[in-house]
Amino acid sequence: MTTVLGAPESRPARRRILDTASTLFYAQGVHAVGIDRIIAEAAVAKATFYNHFATKDELVRAYIQEQSQLQRDAVAQFAQLPARQALLTIFDVLVQIALGPAFRGCPFINVAAEYPDPAHPVRQAIADHRRWFRTVLRDLLVADGRPDADTTADILVVLRDGLVVGSDLDDPHRLRAVISDALTRVIGTSSTR
């Protein structure tokens, strides 16, 4: 999630709108936050808002695409690690984030729950992100010599989904051990430190 620094007027209008929307959507949900509130809190004129985003759905799609880019940038930091270590590090970071006090679930899962139509452009942006993440996992599994990389990547995506949902619903003190055990069973090694 994006942290907003400085006075709103010190950032370009599009950035203020996206930062405000990101904060509000993540904290309260997409449908609970109206355009007028985003406009007011971003300190932009209504015409300025609509100059950047013709509809609220376009803003939501931009929010999802930005969240995806943030995650892509984070995972890119692990590119120099050996494949197995990169896989384990990705899940270790996910656990750390999920156990953080500001964690309110996965933005992709949260927004998908509010957009049930898989053909909707917002859901398509979510699907693009999930394809990317699955491909990253599959490529790391292939580099690690796994003959069943496609199936294992599917399992790891489901494990990731369970991690980000279960961290809020289940005993958070057990999360690290449960994920470590699951990774041991799926890829044959222990994880999270």
Q: Rounded to whole angstroms, what are the CA distances from 122 to 88, 113, 117, 167, 189?
A: 30, 11, 9, 25, 36
Lowest mean pLDDT among 40-49, 100-109, 160-169, 181-190: 181-190
| Domains in the chain: boundaries | 1-54, 57-187
What CATH code would you report for 57-187? Answer: 1.10.357.10
Tens of pLDDT along 40-69? 999 999 999 999 999 999 999 999 999 999
The three-point CA angle 33-36-40 to 5° equals 105
The answer to whether 87 touches 57, Cβ cutoff 8 Å, is no
* Encoded tokens for 60: 């939501």
Residue 193 has pLDDT above 80, yes or no: no
Q: Which CATH architecture has domain 1-54?
A: Orthogonal Bundle (1.10)
pTM of the model: 0.89
The predicted structure's pLDDT at residue 9: 63
Q: Answer yes or no: same fold for 1-54 and 57-187.
A: no
The predicted structure's pLDDT at residue 192: 45
For residue 60, the 8-state DSSP code is H
The three-point CA angle 57-45-24 to 5° equals 45
The answer to whether 30 touches 22, Cβ cutoff 8 Å, is no
Residue % of the chain over a pLDDT of 90: 82
Find the mean pLDDT for residues 126-130: 98
* Encoded tokens for 136: 């990253």
Residue 24 has pLDDT above 50, yes or no: yes
Q: Rounded to whole angstroms, what are the CA distances from 47 to 11, 13, 20, 53, 116?
A: 17, 11, 17, 10, 30
Query: Which band of pLDDT confidence, cut at 50, 70 and 90, is reported for residue 167?
Result: confident
Q: Which amino acid is at 82?
A: P
| Residue among 59, 61, 192, 31 at smallest CA distance from 122 | 61
Residue 166 has pLDDT above 70, yes or no: yes
Find the mean pLDDT for residues 70-84: 96
